Chains A and B, each alone.
Chain A
Amino acid sequence: MSTTTEATIQELAAQKYKYGFSTDILMEEFPKGLSEDIVRLISAKKGEPTWLLEWRLKSYHAWLKMEEPEWARVHHPPIDYDDLYYYAAPAKPVPKSLDEVDPELLKTYEKLGIPLNERAALAGVAVDAVFDSVSVATTFRDTLAKAGVIFCPISEAVKEHPELVRQYLGSVVPAGDNYFAALNSAVFSDGSFVFIPKGVRCPMELSTYFRINARNTGQFERTLIIAEDGASVSYLEGCTAPMRDENQLHAAVVELVAMDEAKIKYSTVQNWYPGDAEGKGGIYNFVTKRGACRGKNSKISWTQVETGSAITWKYPSCILQGDGSVGEFYSVAVTNNRQQADTGTKMIHIGKNTTSTIISKGISAGHSNNTYRGLVKIMPGASGARNFTQCDSLLIGDQCGAHTVPYIENRNASAKVEHEATTSKIAEDQLFYCRSRGLSEEDAVGLIVNGFCKDVLKELPMEFAVEAQKLLAVSLEGSVG
């Protein structure tokens, strides 16, 4: 780091005490780059307790000693971690109305059937100018509060429920777990905190989409969901519409904890900007997602539809610790143009009679590469464990790649593990049949791809499922004909 930058930081740090560091303007002047001082600044800015600052610093020092992983089948120019903003980037001019938004983007919204008033919000038009959902959000909050459910930004939870955050944060994904998780732990911006108390069935599906006050969680999102004994919750993340975002690197961490008989269903639809047809400018989505089934008969279910991002590096996993616990992973990953996806899951069977199901559907088109990478590990104590894995790949065009890299490790004779994988293309006769019924080639491909993904799409909550089907068709546009 140059002495000038150091001087700037010192200056800023000094200012903090002078003015309280509270105005937006100061926030925007946060310098680029990462150092211990920046971590301290982020923590101070959020008014965090000492233990959290220490945890961030521990993560930062762990990160410094780590190397960026190279095992994934993704290629990108080296990331200059000193050229990034770790708190909030200086604001760029936002469109004032829909008229200023890229017409291509609007066309996509139309195809997806996104309500008119939401389009503006998604396109990044200043929110208060668009629609007022505060009343909606308030209604939801009341209902949740009555049930005893805590659903708030994690920064708020740190202040209001510090004992819970302290107990669970980093308990599933430790500070030094992997390169990107360590980076996230050091500088995480914000994210969701969900706590479902004993025996409570969350009265509604929780969605980040409705958490209006925390819309901009930034590039280092941190999510923590805890379901106590007998509790259950369904959490929806993301949105089918392409999101406007200025940050190229996203390194999120999601931790789930399920106690006895608890159930967590986590659904994601990811459609970040994939870059242009040449792959320039797309988002790097390096995410660590892990759930711990700590209690007996607990269940964690991941469902994901991944269509966006230039690079996706993501392995939602389950640690099946409680006896009889269940892990599920349902995934559709679509890559087109120059996109690269390396995604899959890990199922670690520790408890007795634990079961896991993995259904993964990969679709590659254009010049893209789509990899399924997964691990099924049966520990010696996991008697009666059961796993079923199915990975299917579909190739559209002869310039793309589809790869499958499963790891299966079994150390218990009474466990039963099954894995099957296939690769194929869209059959000419299927295409011909649809075409002879008057469907355009693109519609026909959309229909066939939706059929290919049905096993996964049916796991999505209703409203997501409908949008996801349209999304698949839109993502594959231009890949045929």
Chain B
Amino acid sequence: MNALPTRKLEAWRYTDMRPLSAISFGEPPAVSATPELPDLPYPRMVFLNGALNTALSTSFAFAKPYAPFAVRGAQPMVLINAEHAKGGINIEIPAGQDAGELLLVSQASGAAPFAFHPRHRVKLGQGAKLTLIQLDKGEGTYWQNVVFEIEVEAGAKFQHFRLQQEGTEAFNTTTIHADIAGDAAYEHFTLTLGAKISRTEIEANLLGQTALAHLNAAQLLGGTQHGDFTTIIRHKAPNCPSRQTVKSVLAGRARGVFQGKIEVDQIAQKTDGYQMSQALLLSPEAEMDIKPELQIFADDVKCSHGATIGALDEEQVFYLRSRGIPEADARQILIRAFIEEALEPVAHDASKALFEDVLDSWWGRQ
């Protein structure tokens, strides 16, 4: 197997994969139990331990059979995926087609540690539209190492919403490459709640004028969980906006990481890049590490990033309590309000309801 990254690599300085390398992962076992699926009226593709389950899946007109494709990039996780990938979705939406919604579910369970490496591909033709709702769930010790290859052609719009609720003994590494053409948009939101160690790494290339990348995330972690959200946005054409809002809420001994890099090529004049990363530390043992990075080679640009880390404002808690709201509820309300801004790209009611449902109950479970 290709080597796992170590903290000596700059891109991995805050995420230590040694707990993963200490485990020997076998092949995924067969699954007998039927998973609980969300009640959403959309076509669905359901993967059990990394294998497509045709009985649970419904037909989707634009789904093609899985075919291994060459991966780009040389990130350690991508190389490992390339070595082991056996399946994944392969979606092509023709030009001008509004493909509606698609549900992508991954459910994992097994007695002994196992690993699977889904390789997904999504391509939207000119002016096409797709909303992908991706749910990762499971229990037991396993490692899901996903690679996503995304191509959004001119004028197309791809909404990609992820809810990561892996079991707390699981590992989730997800690497996404997105090429976004002129006038096209890639709207992404990841909500990380699960996994012992998780990392979402997104590389978005803005290739034509007014291409948009909107990469938002929220991570709510407790116990000894570790969550890493890493992005690189490459502005390779003039007049492109990019937006990122990342919120982390950390309880227990959890550790959150955000690394966000904006690269602006010399040709990418009139770039408008915005990035905000905020973290709430709810316990004395929680830790947050932030590395926002700007690399700019064009002069007529507007790029800004901001970062804040702090605790809940006790005055705000006091205010709510003085109105008769119990302390736990007051904290829940403030945490929800803190997360709200990150949900902005989720302009899709059913998806938003899904996220809000789990967000509303998170603090109560801590």
Contacts and interface: CB of A to CB of B under 8 A. Distances in A.
Contacts of B282: 413
B341 interface: no
B303 interface: yes
Contacts of B302: 422-424
Nearest to B306: A420
B266 interface: yes
Interface in A352-405: 378, 380, 393, 395-405
A410 B287 contact: yes
Contacts of A407: 289-291
Contacts, number: 115
A57 B61 CA distance: 74
A215 interface: no
A378 to B, nearest CB: 8
Nearest to A407: B291
Interface size for chain B: under 10, 10 to 19, 20 to 34, or 35 or more residues? 35 or more
A166 interface: no
Contact of A421 (B285, B288, B295, B304): B304
Contacts of A424: 301-302
Question: Which of B266, B282, B299 is the most central at the interface, judged by chain A CB atoms within 10 Å of its CB?
Answer: B299
A382 to B, nearest CB: 11
Nearest to B259: A407
Contacts of B290: 406-409, 419
Interface in B91-114: none
Interface string A410-441: 11111111111111110000000000000000
Contacts of A397: 299
Nearest to B310: A416
Interface string B285-324: 1111111111111111111111111110000000000000
Contact of B299 (A400, A411, A413, A421): A400
A17 interface: no
A419 B286 contact: no
A405 B290 CA distance: 10
Given A398-B298, A416-B310, A418-B307, A405 B291 contact: yes
A443 B256 CA distance: 47
Interface string B103-130: 0000000000000000000000000000
Given A401-B296, A425-B299, A417 B287 contact: no
Interface size for chain A: under 10, 10 to 19, 20 to 34, or 35 or more residues? 35 or more
B49 interface: no
B294 A421 contact: yes
Contacts of A421: 292, 294, 304-306
Contacts of B295: 401, 403
A71 interface: yes
A402 B38 CA distance: 47
Contacts of B297: 398, 400-401
B292 A419 contact: yes
Contact of A380 (B10, B284, B291, B301): B284
Contacts of B269: 398
A408 B248 CA distance: 14
Contacts of A401: 295-297
22 contacts: A395-B299, A398-B300, A400-B299, A403-B294, A405-B293, A406-B291, A406-B293, A406-B307, A410-B279, A410-B288, A412-B281, A412-B284, A413-B283, A413-B311, A414-B284, A415-B310, A417-B308, A418-B307, A419-B292, A419-B305, A422-B302, A423-B294
Given A402-B296, A419-B307, A421-B306, 6 more contacts: A398-B298, A402-B294, A403-B296, A413-B311, A419-B292, A420-B306
A406 B262 CA distance: 13
Contacts of B308: 416-419
B309 A416 contact: yes
A396 B299 contact: yes
A175 B176 CA distance: 44
A188 B292 CA distance: 36
Contact of A71 (B10, B283, B303, B311): B10
Contacts of B298: 395, 398
Given A417-B310, A423-B302, A424-B302, A410 B296 contact: no
B341 to A, nearest CB: 16
B319 to A, nearest CB: 19
Contact of B287 (A395, A396, A411, A416): A411
Contacts of A414: 284, 311
Nearest to A421: B305
B234 to A, nearest CB: 14
A404 B299 contact: no
B6 to A, nearest CB: 15
Contacts of B266: 398-399
Question: Which of A378, A409, A414 is the most central at the interface, judged by chain B CB atoms within 10 Å of its CB?
Answer: A409
Contacts of A412: 281, 284
B301 A408 contact: no
Contacts of A409: 287-290
Contacts of B311: 413-414, 416
B183 to A, nearest CB: 24
Given A413-B283, A420-B304, A408 B309 contact: yes
A428 to B, nearest CB: 9
A405 B259 CA distance: 10
Given A380-B284, A404-B294, A413-B282, A423 B301 contact: yes
A398 B297 CA distance: 7
A357 to B, nearest CB: 15
B97 to A, nearest CB: 39
A423 B309 CA distance: 22
B223 to A, nearest CB: 16
